[in-house]
Amino acid sequence: MLPDEELPDQGGPLVRVTDARKTYGPTVALKGVTMEVRRGEVLGIVGHNGAGKSTLMRALSGLERPTSGSIEIDGQTTPGARGFAGVRMAYQEGSLAAELTVRDNIAFSSAPWLPRWRWHRTAARRAGERLQEIFPGNDVGAGDFIDDLQLASRQMVEIARATLTDDLRLLILDEPTESLSGGAVDDLYDYVRKLRARGLGVILVSHRLREILGVCDRVIVLKDGAVASTHRAGEVTERDLFMAMGGEVVVTETGTEAPGRAEDDTGPVTVRVPMKTVDRAPAEITARRGEVIGLAGIAGQGQEQVLERLWRGRAGDVQVEKARAYLPGDRQRSGIFPLWSVARNLSITALGSLARNGIRQQEAERALVDRWVDHLKVRGGAKAAITGLSGGNQQKVIVARAFASKADTILLDDPFRGVDIHTKSELYQLIREEAAGGRTIIWYSSENSEMRYCDRAYVLRAGQIAGVLHGREISDERIIALSFAEASEDAA
């Protein structure tokens, strides 16, 4: 643990938070947080879902006032109409207007530095320049509508927009890489290091502890709305952070990890997806009852399209059982019902199986919801509004919704995006238990390391199968090797 006074002096703190508390009625979100961010520092913030991270970030950006305590940012103690001057935040769930263009979204948040006339041209130019500066080679156009962009591209715009101000002093990145591919992640962190070199402050909130330790100078662990500990990034391990966050559940290299099935398994095939293939790779994706099948590889190589084909299940296109459940990757657009409570969001897929003679059985529904809320420790409870939950807790609800159904086949599109490491380990175990009960699970993850919990992983490249790995063969290194093998051959 590292007291702030042991840090080298860099001209005084840019941000000073003193005994900040925040309550929402009986709910206590922050319990006396005291912390600092120094100029030219990248500070990591980690903790369980519901630890208070998002509440603290909203308070630092000036969107919310602490119930008590104080926040001072570069001499300011009171935020203005647009929050604290020089503080910008890229949000985990996105804050873009989907029906507007990239240029228009930039203009709305950057009006002070735009000319009154012909602002469209200036906004488009600045947007394009900043997107290329942070994410070189991206294909996002200033005139593109947000609703037409892929999730990763929308996240790029979200991040670029947050940096577009002439007086940037503190940049807050809330789970910025959950929807980005490896190359874009590297580009983002290269840019963060440039901001640090210019003397700006950056706060990085992420569940990806390897990234936190790779780019941050210090790491603060939040637990139950309070600072549990502070560490120098170079003097702490991922396991140390796991334990500081609670330590009740620790991901191990064994236990829930899949042993893999024999290649000549003769059980009946329940899922079959014809595919184009690279070289000698299989020409189809197959799965049997009780198997967990991974769709691996670099993001955007056709994994989501495979899941969509299975979900739509058009005759002649794929073989898949009729009863299936689908967890979409874009939580905000396709996952949650924003006007509904946690209970209604969770139980919607199970209503038919719980009904008797077409009549809802509310007691059975409540029992189902309570069981999953307790099992996954959904913060806020069944009656809470789904939009009042943190992103990770929203993700728990839609994961529970898929498994609460009676579906034989479960389709999961990046199901653990924004979920803390302890919850992930519980969900890995859940997947193995459901597979042991006879369900077929097809799973895509943007984190290749998660594929080791699968029985078999198909590595996709440009919509084709580049290779297949079984059980303990599955590793980050092998997935990456297969992902780039075709590119190497083409280059030659």
Indicate if 356 and 387 belong to the same structural domain: yes
Domain contains 225: yes
- Domain stops at, among 187, 219, 245: 245
Indicate if 313 and 262 belong to the same structural domain: yes
159-184 pLDDT, tens digit per residue, is 999 998 878 999 999 888 877 877 89
What are the Cα distances from residue 176, in Å, to 60, 440, 449, 466? 17, 31, 19, 29
Supply the CATH number for residue 282's domain. 3.40.50.300
Q: Are 184 and 214 in contact (CB under 8 A)?
A: no
Indicate if 193 and 78 belong to the same structural domain: yes
Per-residue pLDDT, averaged over 433-459, amounts to 89
Per-residue pLDDT, averaged over 430-444, amounts to 91
The confidence score (pLDDT) of residue 152 equals 86
For the ranges 48-52, 310-314, 331-335, 482-486, the one whose mean pLDDT is highest: 310-314
Q: Are 125 and 103 in contact (CB under 8 A)?
A: no
Percent of the chain predicted with pLDDT > 90 = 28
Indicate if 196 and 52 belong to the same structural domain: yes
Q: Which amino acid is at 440?
A: T
448 pLDDT more than 90:
no
pLDDT band at 1 (very low <50, low <70, confident <90, very high): very low
Indicate if 306 and 425 belong to the same structural domain: yes
Domain contains 301: yes
Percent of the chain predicted with pLDDT > 70 = 89
CA torsion angle 271 277 281 282 (round to 10): 30
Indicate if 42 and 64 belong to the same structural domain: yes
The confidence score (pLDDT) of residue 319 equals 86
Indicate if 350 and 449 belong to the same structural domain: no
For the ranges 34-48, 137-151, 237-251, 269-283, the one whose mean pLDDT is highest: 34-48
Q: Say which residue, 66 or 27, is predicted with more confidence.
A: 66
pLDDT band at 11 (very low <50, low <70, confident <90, very high): low
Indicate if 22 and 120 belong to the same structural domain: yes
Domain that holds residue 368: 335-407
Domain contains 173: yes
205-238 pLDDT, tens digit per residue, is 988 888 999 999 999 999 889 999 999 999 999 8
- Domain stops at, among 245, 276, 294: 245
4 pLDDT more than 60:
no
The C-alpha atoms of residue 238 and residue 153 are separated, in whole angstroms, by 29
Task: Output the average pLDDT for the chain.
Answer: 83
Q: Are 412 and 443 in contact (CB under 8 A)?
A: yes
Indicate if 275 and 299 belong to the same structural domain: yes
Domain contains 444: yes
Give the pairing of strands 456-461 and 292-296: parallel
80-91 pLDDT, tens digit per residue, is 877 888 899 998
- Domain stops at, among 245, 270, 294: 245
Domain contains 329: no
Domain contains 328: no
Number of domains in the chain: 3
DSSP letters for 426-488: HHHHHHHHHHHTT-EEEEE-SSGGGGGGSSEEEEEETTEEEEEEEGGG--HHHHHHHHHHHHH
Which residues make Cβ contacts (< 8 Å) with residue 120, sequence separation at least 6?
Answer: 103, 107
- To which H or E segment does residue 126 belong? helix 119-134
Domain contains 481: yes
Indicate if 135 and 267 belong to the same structural domain: no
Give the pairing of strands 284-288 and 269-274: antiparallel
Domain contains 231: yes
42 pLDDT more than 80:
yes
Indicate if 39 and 82 belong to the same structural domain: yes
369 pLDDT more than 70:
yes
Indicate if 470 and 381 belong to the same structural domain: no
Give the DSSP letter of residue 364: H
